[in-house]
Amino acid sequence: MTIAEKLKKLRELRRLTTAELAKLSGVHQTTISAIENKRHASPGIETVERLAKALNVSPLYFFEDRSRTPFDLIDNLPTEISDFLLSEESLPYLLLSKDAYAKGISSKTIEQLIKVLHDNQSEKKQSQVSKKIVNKKEVIL
């Protein structure tokens, strides 16, 4: 992938316009457009560093052919997955997934665990609602 392709792909994944990326990076919007449209084939290192920082990637990503993101490796990644991966809140969940995978815990086991936890949580909430109803009846009586 070229610098132009990588830049455009990351910008679009982050759902940024060229104007928004320009504001975040301090790189002029026309420069960003020129890079993406291959009219500016070799941007300076300072420009690449600013863009990389705004897009939260290493500047090497743009220069190293072997540098890839999960978005480069998986075509047609569902939007909800890419949104999750891009959110800061996802990191603890990703680390847990990595740990479970390293320990040989199957995805089926994790699904079952989540179901049990969800069911217990639902039962707890239902119990609390029932107690409130009973308490209200006692007050009325």
Model confidence pLDDT, tens digit, residues 40-86: 878 999 999 999 999 988 888 888 776 666 666 666 777 777 777 77
Model confidence pLDDT, tens digit, residues 85-113: 777 677 888 888 889 999 999 989 999 99
Query: What does the alpha-carbon distance between residue 99 and residue 80 come to, in Å, rounded to a whole number?
Result: 22
Model confidence pLDDT, tens digit, residues 1-26: 788 988 998 898 888 999 999 999 99
Judged against a pLDDT cut of 80, whether residue 33 lies above it is answered with yes
Whether this prediction's pTM lies above 0.85 is answered by no
Is the distance from CB of 48 to CB of 62 less than 8 angstroms? yes
**What's the pLDDT band for 136 if we cut at 50, 70, 90?**
low
pLDDT of residue 23: 96
pLDDT of residue 106: 92
- Segments making up each domain of the chain, as ranges: 3-86, 91-140
pLDDT of residue 140: 54
Q: What would the CATH number be for the domain defined by 3-86?
A: 1.10.260.40
Helix (H, G, I), strand (E, B) or coil at 130: helix
More reliable by pLDDT, 53 or 139: 53
